[in-house]
Structure 1
Amino acid sequence: MPRSLSTYDPTRQRERVTAHVYAQPAEVNRAVAGTIAKLIRERAETGKPCVLGLATGSTPVGVYDELIRLHREEGLSFKNVVTFNLDEYFPMQPEALQSYRRFMQEHLFDHVDIDPANVHIPDGTLPADEVAQYCADYERKIEEAGGLDLQLLGIGRTGHIGFNEPGSPKDSPTRLIWLDKLTRLDAASDFFGYEHVPSRAITMGVGSIFTAKRVILMAFGEGKAPVIARAVEGEISANLPASYLQEHPQAEFWLDEAAAAELTRFKRPWLLGPVHWTDARIRQAVIWLARDIDKPVLKLTDEDYNEHGLQELIAEHGPAYDINRQVFRTLQQTITGWPGGKPRDAREPGDVLRPADDVYPKRVLIFSPHPDDDVISMGGTLIRLVDQGHEVHVAYQTSGNIAVFDDDAIRFADFAAEFNEMFGIDHKRSTELEQHVETALKNKKPGHVDSNEVQRLKGLIRRGEARAAGRSCGVPIENLHFMDLPFYETGKVRKKPLGEDDIKLTLDLLNRIKPHQVYAAGDLSDPHGTHRTCLNAVMEAVRRASSESWAKQCEVWLYRGAWQEWEPEKIEMAVPLSPQEMLRKRTAIFKHESQKDKALFPGIDPREFWQRAEDRNMATAKLYDQLGLAEYEAIEGFVRWHPTDEPAKAAAAGTASASV
């Protein structure tokens, strides 16, 4: 359910547009799809068409999935529905993998009873000199259809809606525009490289969107949280087109908690009015105060609390000395150099022990969505677990095969052919493979799918790198497990939804290893969605195994680091790393040579993955130091997850299809 607001709504002091916030993306998808279905039925009952403005991208996929379910299982008909899509790349052929026409056919239109004549999607095949008239005709068709009853939107990192980039005026019409560099970087994975992303697109304008009677903007994940906060709470600006929606009479934002995390009601709710002061909320407030005024926790005074909106906290739980000590001790207790627990003969007076520490050494299973996420995000902790004698296993959930450059595949095919010739191993077959790889890749058009042989070869490249990294960390080769979850193996950037086979493979591995500790990636800001899907597979498998004897004493820890770090108030285990361990972690990351120097799908962060990891780990250590704790070279942070937890507690959930 969305968070309910009282008659007096303090959030309206800050939020300038209605924002509905749900724990999970799946809940948002059901609610939005239900809203659309209700509108379709209401219009049908009056004999009128329902005119929908539709969006593409990963965000609305769950809504389309739910609409298809409603059509198949509950008889929702689309015969009275007329649709107008927001945008299309230019130029773009309708059958291309990246075509929004193809996207809409595959994700919605092919599965419902909509009249093809009622479907309108901007045409990316037009001669450039005909686009202006086409755009004017597109708006005329919307008007002739009776105007948009509802417009569905996503939001880009630049704050764009549709392809209305920063600088777009509020009254802008449907038109041909140039894409912002950041928008093209975000789309690079879909096109197998930034250089292949079209520089132009046809888009409905902000003015076109504003003609809709109702507007619903959806956003998921921490990566969208900063731009959502600006669009909802900030000033209206042409530099952030989504902020224009503050002036639309029926505009609403529908968010999961991760995307809403930067809104004041979640980040600093005490500034809006009375709050219930739980231990977690106190910790959040004190860390915020210490960072805001640049003071260590133990140096905060009663006046600091009073002068920065925390009068209620100091009145109920003060004095400052007591609050400071409580939070400081909690932070201090998160720090451990023994992530797998401390053996009895190594325990010292004052050690903070967990019940699971009595099991030593442990069987540890680390799930890595891609073949390098383990060392990028928790390589130091992985090395520490191995050095401390635990039986460490790493499960690579996907092959990562589409993230290998074509040149690398050709180079490895050349090596295989020459190796086989040197040792007299089926020279004819290896030569055929070499020729196939080279011919297939030379003839491949940008954005096209690799042949099965090339996909397998690229997967082998990633496997070899993962084995090299595992050896570097001290993990035995037999403890490296390559799962190749089926949802990923499409050969395309866009993946299938999580399926029963994915969960079963995960559950089988868990039951085979019977781990005492499980580590999984908790990144929801992964721009491609694979981390989210892999995390859902682990969580569902752990839930299903909860009655097993091994599961009753198993801890599940979530790591981050490839895209974003845990907030300090959420960290429940902080593993400090020495300079030497950081170097070992870097060495392990370097073993993934196909991702070194320049990754095929780097996202919008220009740094290499090892640089991102080191900067984030060192920033966490610096923050602990600034809060008054011990000074370390770097820290890797983890959050504990329980099978009975609400998914949002660990910032994990969702049903959207993954990419990359």
Structure 2
Amino acid sequence: MKEINQLKQTYQNIETSVYDSKELGSVAVAQRIAQLIRKKATQEKPFVLGLATGATPLGVYAELVRLHKEEGLSFENVVTFNLDEYLPMAPADKNSYVRFMHENLFDHIDIKSENVHIPDGTIGEEEVVDFCREYEAKIASLGGLDLQILGIGRSGHIGFNEPGSGLYSLTRRVKLDAITIKDAAKDFGGVANVPHEAITMGISTILNAKRVVLMAWGESKAPIVKKAIEDEITDLIPATYLQYHSNVRFVLDNDAATELATTDMPWLFGDIEWNDRMIRKAVTWLALQVQKPVLKLTDEDYTKYGMRDLLEKCCNSYNINIKVFNDLQHTITGWPGGKPNADDTNRPAPSEPAKKKIAVFSPHPDDDVISMGGTFIRLASQGHDVNVAYHVSGNIAVADEDVLRYAKFIKMFNGTFGGGDSVAEAKLDKAVEIIKNRKPGDLDSPEALEIKGLLRRLEAINADEFVGVPEEKVTFLDMPFYKTGTVEKKPLSQDDIDVIVNYLQQIKPQQIYAAADLADPHGTHGVCFEALIAALKQLEGEAWLENCVLWGYRGAWAEWNIADVDMAVPLSPCEVDGKIKAIYCHGSQKDNVLFPGEDKREFWERARDRNNATAELYDKLGLAEYEAMEVFAKYDFRK
């Protein structure tokens, strides 16, 4: 049992609560805060609360506001201290944490203004040290923080305690890490506009709180959550310092918990229910651990890695191996739309009807070819009626330089051949003038956004025609939630859902492909998928929907775990090249992407490498060796 003991010994260094959604997790945290506030009120003592900013605590603040308005929760005895603030930062700036806290919490509750404390982003350099000392003194004078709530950055920072922060650090001025600056760039209109300094509570300040709750939502946070909970304590990942605290809890949604050992390898931690998916997950994990194909695993391998109960359930390793090998084999198909006149008993897609109506949903105008460009080519070449719908324009991801370049081309064209539309040219001139004169952080003008949207439409149509889908089969849904001109979007509404409902009623597809890539750091994919599911539920009872299948693909940010794959489409070298050329059609997203995330590779490189790695994984498990594979998970939207 040496192997299993070595695997288990470092896991779960921090207590963790996992919820089905960030909404449920946020409500649980808010309810706990409310209990503590009420308890202190009965003791006629102040409740000292440390607050965080960013997207993570928004649900908590919304629930606290609801508790105040609907259930009479009073904040008169609450004293708050915020973790941090950019430096320099004016309170009225749209990116200031003063403004954030007032808009999302303070303006909606009965907290006393003198009880609100946020680091001052306007103080001069000579005043910073004294301000930070006074901030610490105010916290200490109240007996310390009763509760500190936190989010976590992708570098592992808490507050603005970046990698390298010391265990005994107090409130201070800090330099921001490059990853933090890059993550903030979308809010500031580019990296160049992000402040490079901040004031933050220190690690020691946070650890001195009586209780600490750290929240994390979504797959993009899963890798750093795993490190914070399971890795050794290190200043390179400041969140690991929380392992020293005697009363700390991580509150996660299912997606943020996906890489934790207790989620990823539950068979190591006690008895579990062995269903088909769990068996596949455990066996493929075991095969990769011992570096053997599935069919070569032995009873000894299963016993060494904590799966003795699985052996007993299935009698021996041979039975398990054959079951999982066949399970994996049955996911592979070169006919994603179904193979005509074939026995489809063990195929992912039914053979009838031979020619299917297919709807491919793409959040942005390039996610479809990045994620399923090879499958796109297969579906079109095999004669299916392929229709493409783009949820949003993607116009905010187009650089100003692209508009200026195309504007110059149009001017040259009109000057050479004449006959330009004067109204259109005037609009173009206005957009160019605004772009040339706008200051860092200024929003795009409506004229510029319109032109940028047209550029992305043109690119999408070119890519679709390249993979075999004619322009008349392409629809741009322009969902209302996206139309803000900024990275921050409006909440999803019934108007958004209605757009999808109307489109589906027109197409009545037998297959739907959609981006289920919830690791997208910008959140658009998640919102679009949520809207699609809501639309399908609203259409429940429609006859055409009875035989419709929803296939989820992953985008540029992550790939499916092999245990979750229901269909794997192998690609030849020529199809990989075709997919890359389709991605090339999106010229505005090549070479200089505005919002690339942490991965520095271009999108075509990410797609190629990911598809090659998936094929290599199937090969290692003992399946046929292919050049590349695109994989999909089947969603039961009827639940």
TM-score w.r.t. the length of structure 1 is 0.92
Secondary structure of the corresponding residue to residue 558 of structure 1: strand
Q: How many angstroms does 1:144 deviate by? A: 3.2
Question: What residue number does 2:521 align with?
Answer: 527
Whether 1:397 and 2:391 are equivalent positions in the alignment is yes
Deviates more, 1:378-387 or 1:273-282: 273-282
Q: How many angstroms does 1:411 deviate by? A: 2.1
* Mapping of residues 445-460 of structure 1, within 5 Å: 445-460=439-454
- Give the conservation status (yes or no) of the 8 Å contact 2:330–2:348: no
* 1:96 aligned partner, one-letter code: D
Secondary structure of the corresponding residue to residue 173 of structure 1: coil
Secondary structure of the corresponding residue to residue 97 of structure 1: coil
Question: What residue number does 1:554 align with?
Answer: 548
- Give the conservation status (yes or no) of the 8 Å contact 2:356–2:509: yes
Secondary structure of the corresponding residue to residue 569 of structure 1: helix
Q: How many angstroms does 1:176 deviate by? A: 0.9
Whether 1:636 and 2:630 are equivalent positions in the alignment is yes
Which of 117, 121, 126 in structure 2 is aligned with 1:124? 121
Q: How many angstroms does 1:356 deviate by? A: 4.0
Distance verdict in 2 for CA 1:68–1:417, change over 3 Å: farther
Distance verdict in 2 for CA 1:99–1:499, change over 3 Å: same
Q: How many angstroms does 1:420 deviate by? A: 5.0
Secondary structure of the corresponding residue to residue 334 of structure 1: coil
Question: What residue number does 2:75 align with?
Answer: 78
Q: How many angstroms does 1:577 deviate by? A: 0.8
* Higher relative contact order, structure no. (Cα contacts within 8 Å, ≥ 6 residues apart): 1
- Give the conservation status (yes or no) of the 8 Å contact 2:22–2:217: yes
- Give the conservation status (yes or no) of the 8 Å contact 1:417–1:434: no
Give me the CA root mean square deviation.
Answer: 2.0
* 1:552 aligned partner, one-letter code: E
- Give the conservation status (yes or no) of the 8 Å contact 1:413–1:437: no
Question: What residue number does 2:133 align with?
Answer: 136
Question: What residue number does 1:657 align with?
Answer: none
Residues of 2 paired with 1:593 and 1:110: CA distance?
A: 44
- Give the conservation status (yes or no) of the 8 Å contact 1:386–1:474: yes
Q: How many angstroms does 1:12 deviate by? A: 9.5
Which of 579, 603, 609 in structure 2 is aligned with 1:609? 603
Question: What residue number does 1:256 align with?
Answer: 253
Question: What residue number does 1:444 align with?
Answer: 438
Question: What residue number does 1:581 align with?
Answer: 575
* Mapping of residues 11-160 of structure 1, within 5 Å: 14-160=11-157
* 1:228 aligned partner, one-letter code: V
Whether 1:487 and 2:481 are equivalent positions in the alignment is yes
- Give the conservation status (yes or no) of the 8 Å contact 2:344–2:350: no
Q: How many angstroms does 1:94 deviate by? A: 2.5
Residues of 2 paired with 1:78 and 1:443: CA distance?
A: 46
Question: What residue number does 2:4 align with?
Answer: none
Secondary structure of the corresponding residue to residue 85 of structure 2: strand
Secondary structure of the corresponding residue to residue 622 of structure 2: coil
Q: How many angstroms does 1:478 deviate by? A: 1.7
Residues of 1 paired with 2:580 and 2:288: CA distance?
A: 29
Question: What residue number does 1:649 align with?
Answer: none
- Give the conservation status (yes or no) of the 8 Å contact 1:97–1:447: no
Secondary structure of the corresponding residue to residue 475 of structure 1: coil
- Give the conservation status (yes or no) of the 8 Å contact 2:332–2:569: yes
TM-score w.r.t. the length of structure 2 is 0.95
Whether 1:168 and 2:165 are equivalent positions in the alignment is yes
Secondary structure of the corresponding residue to residue 160 of structure 2: coil
Question: What residue number does 1:425 align with?
Answer: 420
Residues of 1 paired with 2:13 and 2:345: CA distance?
A: 49
Question: What residue number does 1:590 align with?
Answer: 584
- Give the conservation status (yes or no) of the 8 Å contact 2:336–2:348: no
Residues of 1 paired with 2:10 and 2:387: CA distance?
A: 50
* 1:426 aligned partner, one-letter code: D
- Give the conservation status (yes or no) of the 8 Å contact 1:96–1:102: yes
Q: How many angstroms does 1:430 deviate by? A: 4.0
Secondary structure of the corresponding residue to residue 603 of structure 1: coil
Deviates more, 1:135-144 or 1:326-335: 135-144
Residues of 2 paired with 1:350 and 1:541: CA distance?
A: 29
Question: What residue number does 1:292 align with?
Answer: 289
Structure 2 gaps, min length 5:
1-6
Residues of 1 paired with 2:9 and 2:72: CA distance?
A: 39
Cα deviations by residue, 1:513-568 (Å, 9 ceiling, x for unpaired): 11111111111111111111111111111111121111111101110031000011
Cα deviations by residue, 1:13-66 (Å, 9 ceiling, x for unpaired): 731211001121121112112222222333334433332211112211222222
Distance verdict in 2 for CA 1:458–1:110, change over 3 Å: farther
Q: How many angstroms does 1:118 deviate by? A: 2.6
Question: What residue number does 1:238 align with?
Answer: 235
- Give the conservation status (yes or no) of the 8 Å contact 2:348–2:567: no
* 1:198 aligned partner, one-letter code: P
Distance verdict in 2 for CA 1:417–1:621, change over 3 Å: same
Distance verdict in 2 for CA 1:185–1:202, change over 3 Å: same
Question: What residue number does 2:494 align with?
Answer: 500
Question: What residue number does 2:3 align with?
Answer: none
Secondary structure of the corresponding residue to residue 145 of structure 2: coil
Structure 1 gaps, min length 5:
1-9, 646-660
Whether 1:247 and 2:244 are equivalent positions in the alignment is yes
Aligned residues with identical type, % of pairs: 54
Whether 1:320 and 2:317 are equivalent positions in the alignment is yes
- Give the conservation status (yes or no) of the 8 Å contact 1:177–1:201: yes
